[in-house]
C-alpha cells in the first residue's frame, strides 16, 4: 500500500465558530492510498495548518508505505523541526498521524484499539465542561460522572486580588451546591489568572474545606516557576497540558513537576502516536492522564486500551460533522467496533470553508 495523496480542509457547520485559532481551527486530513482506502484524522491550525499539510507534509508522504507510522511521524517532525516542534505545525502533524492510524485499522479490518492491545474498557464514564452555572444546572442530572466549570469569562481579571478571589469562590460554591457533595467537580481558568489571584482562590477554597478534583491551567503555561510552586503548595491537583506538544513536552512537565494531571489533546499534541507515548511515560512516573476532549472519537481508542481509569471529557459541540462519533448516554460513552477509528464520513455532503489558496479538497 502506498500513499497517493494527502488532503486537508476546514469543515464547517452552523455551529462552527468563525475563527481558525487554537480550539476552533480543526482541520480534517485525508490520506488516500493506491489500495482505495482513505484514512481520516483531525488536526488543528485552520488555514495555516492546511498550508503546512499541503506545502511540506504531503510531498514527504506521497509514495510512502502508510503503515510504518512511527517512521513517518519522525520524518514529519524532523522535516519541520526548524519551524515546528510545538504549535500549529504539530497540530497539522496530529491530523495526518490520526489519519494514518485510521488507515492502518481499516487495512487490517480492526478497530484502532485492537492495534493498541485491545479495549480494557468498552463503556467509559464521562465528565462535562460547562461555561457557567446555568448550563451546569441543565446537565447536572444527565448521568455525568464529573463536571468542570470553565472560568475564563466568569470574573473581572482587572480588579484587585481581594475583589477577584471572592467572585471565583462564590461561583465555585454555587457549582458545588448544584452538583452536591462528593461528586467530581473541577475548575479551569484557561491560563487567565496570575499567581496572586491563583493563590488567593486556592487559599479561600482550602480554608473552606472545598472539594475540588483539580484546578486546570490556572496561570500562563510558560510560567514554569509558578507551576512548580503551585504543584508544591496547592492541596488541589494542578492539571494542564492541552497546550503542550509531543511526549518530549509532556516529559518536561512531569520531570519538572509542573502538573499533577496531564491533559494531552490528541488532535494537537502530535496525534495518537504521541498520545500513546504520553500514556506510557506517565505510567512510568505514576502520573494521571485525562485527555482533553477525551470523548471525541480521536482519543477514545487510546482511552479504551491504555487508560487505567478513564474519565472522558465531553466533546465540543461544533465537531458535529464527525460521523461515527459515539454518543454520550446517561453519562457513559461506549466505543464501537468499526475498523480504524470508526469514522463515517460522506465527503460529498461535507461543507468546507473555502481556503484562500487551495480549492482542491475533493480529488479530481
Q: How many residues bind Mg ion (CB under 5 A)?
A: 2
* Interacting residues of 56 by C-beta distance below 8 A, sequence separation 6+: 79, 80
> Which residue's CB comes closest to Mg ion?
188
Nearest to 176 by CA among 121, 213, 231: 213
Any catalytic annotation for residue 285?
Answer: no
| 8 Å CB contact between 125 and 312 | yes
CA atoms of 155 and 167, how far apart (whole Å): 6
Residue 39 CB, nearest approach to Mg ion (Å): 28
Which of 243, 259, 292, 301 is labelled catalytic?
292
Please state, as a whole number, how many other Cβ atoms lie within 10 Å of the Cβ of residue 283.
Answer: 14
C-alpha 336 chain-centroid distance: 20
Binding segment (CB under 5 A) for Mg ion, from list 36-44, 49-57, 185-193, 341-349 = 185-193
Binding segment (CB under 5 A) for Mg ion, from list 69-77, 119-127, 215-223, 274-282 = 215-223
265 binds Mg ion (CB under 5 A): no
Residue 254 CB, nearest approach to Mg ion (Å): 18
- Pick one of 32, 102, 188, 265: the residue that binds Mg ion (CB under 5 A): 188
| 8 Å CB contact between 247 and 274 | yes
Instruction: Report the residue number, 32 or 265, with the smaller CB distance to Mg ion.
Output: 265
| Residues found in the chain | 364
Q: Restricting to residues 70-129, which ones interact with Mg ion according to CB under 5 A? A: none
Instruction: Report the residue number, 318 or 358, with the smaller CB distance to Mg ion.
Output: 318
Binding segment (CB under 5 A) for Mg ion, from list 119-127, 181-189, 192-200, 314-322 = 181-189
| 8 Å CB contact between 74 and 109 | no
CA atoms of 187 and 8, how far apart (whole Å): 34
Tell me the CA end-to-end span of the chain in Å, nearest whole number.
20
Residue 240 CB, nearest approach to Mg ion (Å): 8
| Cell numbers found for residue 348 | 460529498
Instruction: Report the residue number, 213 or 216, with the smaller CB distance to Mg ion.
Output: 216
Write the DSSP symbol of residue 274: H
Instruction: Report the residue number, 32 or 216, with the smaller CB distance to Mg ion.
Output: 216
Residues making contact with Mg ion (CB under 5 A): 188, 216
Residues known to be catalytic: 292
Amino acid at each position: 500500500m502506498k500513499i497517493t495523496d494527502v488532503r486537508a480542509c476546514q469543515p464547517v457547520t452552523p455551529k462552527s465558530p468563525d475563527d481558525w485559532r487554537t480550539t476552533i481551527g480543526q482541520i480534517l486530513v485525508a490520506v488516500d492510498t493506491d489500495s482505495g482506502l482513505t484514512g481520516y484524522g483531525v488536526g488543528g491550525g485552520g488555514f495555516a495548518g492546511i498550508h503546512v499539510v499541503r506545502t511540506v507534509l504531503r510531498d514527504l508522504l506521497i509514495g510512502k508505505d502508510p503503515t510504518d507510522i512511527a517512521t513517518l511521524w519522525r520524518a514529519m517532525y524532523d522535516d519541520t523541526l526548524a519551524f515546528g516542534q510545538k504549535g500549529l505545525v504539530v497540530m497539522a502533524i496530529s491530523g495526518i498521524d490520526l489519519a494514518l492510524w485510521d488507515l492502518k485499522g481499516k487495512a487490517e479490518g480492526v478497530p484502532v484499539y485492537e492495534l493498541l492491545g485491545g479495549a480494557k474498557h468498552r463503556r467509559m464514564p464521562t465528565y462535562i465542561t460547562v461555561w457557567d452555572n446555568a448550563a451546569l444546572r441543565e446537565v447536572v442530572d444527565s448521568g455525568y460522572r464529573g463536571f468542570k466549570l470553565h472560568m475564563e469569562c466568569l470574573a473581572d481579571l482587572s480588579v484587585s486580588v481581594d475583589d477577584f478571589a471572592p467572585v471565583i469562590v462564590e461561583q465555585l460554591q454555587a457549582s458545588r451546591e448544584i452538583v452536591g457533595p462528593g461528586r467530581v467537580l473541577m475548575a479551569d481558568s484557561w491560563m487567565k489568572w496570575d499567581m496572586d489571584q491563583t493563590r488567593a482562590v486556592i487559599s479561600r477554597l482550602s480554608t473552606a474545606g472545598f472539594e475540588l478534583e483539580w484546578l486546570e491551567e490556572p496561570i500562563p503555561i510558560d510560567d514554569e516557576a509558578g507551576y512548580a510552586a503551585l504543584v508544591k503548595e496547592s492541596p488541589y491537583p494542578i492539571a494542564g497540558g492541552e497546550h503542550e506538544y509531543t511526549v518530549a513536552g509532556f516529559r518536561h512537565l512531569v520531570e519538572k513537576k509542573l502538573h499533577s494531571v496531564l491533559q494531552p489533546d490528541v488532535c494537537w499534541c502530535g496525534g495518537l502516536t504521541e498520545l500513546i507515548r504520553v500514556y506510557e511515560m506517565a505510567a512510568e512516573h505514576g502520573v494521571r492522564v485525562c485527555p482533553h476532549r477525551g470523548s471525541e472519537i480521536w482519543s477514545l481508542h487510546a482511552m479504551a486500551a491504555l487508560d487505567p481509569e478513564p474519565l472522558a471529557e465531553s466533546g465540543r459541540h461544533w465537531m458535529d460533522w464527525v460521523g461515527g462519533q459515539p454518543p454520550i448516554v446517561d453519562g457513559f460513552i461506549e466505543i464501537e467496533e468499526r475498523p480504524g477509528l470508526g469514522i463515517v464520513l460522506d465527503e460529498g455532503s461535507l461543507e468546507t470553508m473555502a481556503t484562500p489558496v487551495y480549492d482542491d479538497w475533493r480529488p479530481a
